[in-house]
Structure 1
């Protein structure tokens, strides 16, 4: 069995819009009511997948969920036509595009039964995301139906779980046993803590993780209240490297010491707050980047949003790090501006799964030809623009449903309809 890291990106759906539904997400709130461009958004995401394939990285994808979610509105006693605007917007949400929130993943070398475990995230903290897990779970069970995987249902409410965006893994190599780090928040303040400690502990138990190689570390209140609604806005890990902002953890020194004790080979690359402020880190999504191991001994690359280039303090620090022979050897900017305007960078758009690609349902694995076919469908069927008032349009509802149906048909994934 050949284990490697596969990044599964969420294809940005035809209902992508800016409703400003995500409390604590500064970009989402700032752009509420703006006109979105679903077609451009999806093509930007596909181009990012092409970019990573060209680097030699295995690439998969997930399809958009069925939106607007009329059955969810029916449970609330209303309809698409009769719903209050805020409920209608929640039914239209395309937030499943951020696959980092789809699930938490523990590779086979870490689990007690030698399987790769995935637990679908319940996303209960935000109403517009709380009705994602059913569709996501259905998709995970199709993509990872092979006995090499164990796919779990959600942790029950009220314990909030937002998936891999609050989970990191350190290891000597992707296929070797690692140390898994669950980062949780504590409630209080303007913005909610979305990842609860009890949820993280439940996932670790379901995944049969070794307690000696499993850490639970508290995210700093200042990071959460500053707009780092998930840990991956202020920290990212890959193999032996932890790339983090100085303000990421509640007790920085204790957290670093705990990580070093569990995984002595770790290299902690910390960006000081006096070099890059927390607001600049969040605005640029410096840490919401894909820190990847490049093939053929190319070291590590950082796939990061072009906004990082536009933020002087961030780009200056990154260039100095690369020039100083740090572990990050290449800076690889990508344009995901439509996603960024809703508060999701390159790392938000992907779920990392360490597995043998041959054990994954091939319909979910990307290659250049398949991405070209997806692009053609997007260009033909995805709306060019969506304004807030458009969410009440029966014609647009029919159009976006036809668009998703065309994609599923082309990918031979009719069981997801």
Structure 2
């Protein structure tokens, strides 16, 4: 696309963080997510979790980064319970689920939509042939609790990115194992700058229609979630050409170590790709393909296994960090507090990153422990959307964070969220009622209209 067709050159990245929902709990639902599995059954603090998320958003906003907000989903999902045969009043449905299928009750109460890196895959307008921003909500079919999200996610994205002249929304891929799609957590866009033409790195764990051959090694302990076929389908939906895409297989040993998404072991921004030695099955081939397609030199920042083990990478979530561009060309890495608590990881941050030949000039530590215990670091909590000035001006609703909105959301959390939530509390009918009241009020604060099932009738 020529500059005459795309006059708006003021492109910036907006990080849309998911608000942690009122039913945030530790159910241990995610197979392959070591943190989630190991903390299952603990007592959670939804209020602290939501305030930690808001504090991270506010700190990045204060530092000059554009910050957006996405609402949580309606939980408990009583409609899902009724579809599974639980009948009667809301109180009856919850009581029967708690007694007959407590794990299903935990699933329909999950606040996992806070991890908006899984919400969708996004292609910005400089890369799309029609000059629009493209969205495909992820089907998240690999786990029941996340499979419940895409319908509401699609409505939320359509409500915010409403202008059809600037935004295009695609249907969720078929919710079958062949097209298992986990969203932007397995997608990285690399470019010289946000407004430059980019190359899209799609990382997959398996091939649905070629699985089992000797040339396709598989993980042995945990399932590979993203399929090549899903990544290819999203690229086709968005009109991306072969010259704009690279498809790389995730290393099976990393998946077995708890790297359930690529963003647990690699993060990219601009021309920089920060990755672990064990991120890709074919490391050399992946880098070569990126270099061939990028119009600006790739800056790979490789962390060797001898510096950070796979266990420490997963335990600290070093790579599940936000890599952000600054006006002077430098970058800031926002890491969870667990990185500072791990000696080898923190030494690597100092020696390989801050002292290395790369644009990363600052590391900022943020406390997101409530999210981390469920297996989500700073990068999990945000969906990256590159937008030009006119596109930002076309956003509907009140979703770009400022001091006033932050204050209102903080007060909203403090009014409606509990400070203690154990698995047995999920059957409390009062919790379900509290959540509906909170979400109805939130819809008004964000000015996004009716997006929840209870609002649609």
Deviations 1:299-354 (A, max 9, x none): 10001101111111111111123134532100011111100000000000000001
The 2-side partners of 1:310 and 1:316 are apart by: 10
Match of 2:434 in 1: 399
CA contact (8 A) 2:58 2:406 kept: yes
| Corresponding position of 2:174 | 156
Q: How far apart are the structure 2 equivalents of 1:193 and 1:115?
A: 32
* Separation in 2, partners of 1:292, 1:379: 30
Which of 301, 308, 330 pairs up with 1:299?
A: 330
Q: Cα deviations across residues 168-214 of structure 1 (Å, max 9, x unaligned)?
A: 01101001110001000025522111111111000000000121111
Contact 2:18–2:70 (8 Å) recurs in 1: yes
Q: Counterparts in 2 of 1:239-388, with a 5 A limit?
A: 239-263=270-294, 265-295=297-327, 297=328, 299-320=330-351, 321-356=353-388, 357-388=392-423
Matched, 1:51 2:59: yes
Q: Which has the larger radius of gyration?
A: 2
SS of 2:285's partner is helix
Alpha-carbon distance between aligned partners in 1 of 2:221 and 2:349, rounded to the nearest angstrom: 31
Residue 211 of structure 1 is matched in structure 2 by 242
Aligned partners of 1:413 and 1:170: how far apart in 2? 31
Whole-Å separation in 2 of the counterparts to 1:188 and 1:220: 8
Match of 1:183 among 194, 199, 203: 203
**Range 217-226 or range 260-269, more displaced:** 260-269
Q: CA deviation at 1:298?
A: 5.5
What's the CA shift string for 1:21-47, capped at 9, x where partnerless? Answer: 000000000100000000000000000
Residue of 110, 113, 120 corresponding to 1:93: 110
Contact 2:397 2:446 (C-alpha < 8 Å) held by counterparts: no
Report the Cα distance in structure 1 between the residues aligned to 2:443 and 2:34, rounded to whole angstroms.
33
Q: SS in structure 1 opposite 2:301?
A: strand
Task: Give 1:403 shift.
Answer: 2.2
1:230 matched to 2:261: yes
Shift of 1:285: 0.4
From 140, 149, 174, the equivalent of 2:194 is: 174
Question: What is the RMSD of the two structures over their aligned residues, measured on CA atoms?
Answer: 1.2
Secondary structure, in 3 states, of the residue corresponding to 1:190?
coil
Residue 450 of structure 2 is aligned to residue 415 of structure 1:
yes
Indicate if the aligned counterparts of 1:111 and 1:210 stay in contact, CA closer than 8 A: no
Aligned counterparts of 1:335 and 1:294: Cα–Cα separation in 2: 22
> In the alignment, is the contact (CA less than 8 A) between 1:115 and 1:150 conserved in 2?
yes
**Unaligned 5+ runs, structure 2:** 1-7, 87-92, 207-217, 453-457
* Cα separation, 2, equivalents of 1:66 and 1:253: 44
User: How many positions carry a matched residue from both structures?
Assistant: 416
| Offset from partner CA, 1:215-260 (integer Å, 9 cap, x none) | 1100000111100000000001000100000000011122222222
Structure 1 residue runs without a partner (length 5+): none
What CA distance in whole angstroms lies between the structure 2 residues aligned with 1:67 and 1:5?
30
Aligned equivalents of 2:356, 2:230: Cα separation in 1: 40
How big is the shift at 1:290? 0.5
Contact residue 14 and residue 404 of structure 1 kept, 8 A: no
Q: 1:42-65, CA deviations, whole angstroms, 9 ceiling, x for partnerless residues?
A: 000000000110111111110011
Structure 2 residue 144 is matched with structure 1 residue 124:
no
Structure 1 segments, 4+ long, off by >6 Å, are none
Q: Contact 2:329/2:359 (CA < 8 Å) preserved in 1?
A: no
What does residue range 70-85 of structure 1 map to in structure 2 within 5 Å? 70-78=78-86, 79-83=93-97, 84-85=101-102
**1:29-48 to 2 correspondences below 5 Å:** 29-48=37-56
Q: Secondary structure at the match of 1:183?
A: strand
Please give the alpha-carbon distance, in whole angstroms, between the structure 1 residues aligned to 2:344 and 2:132: 43
State the distance in 1 between where 2:247 and 2:408 align: 42
SS in 1 for 2:450: helix
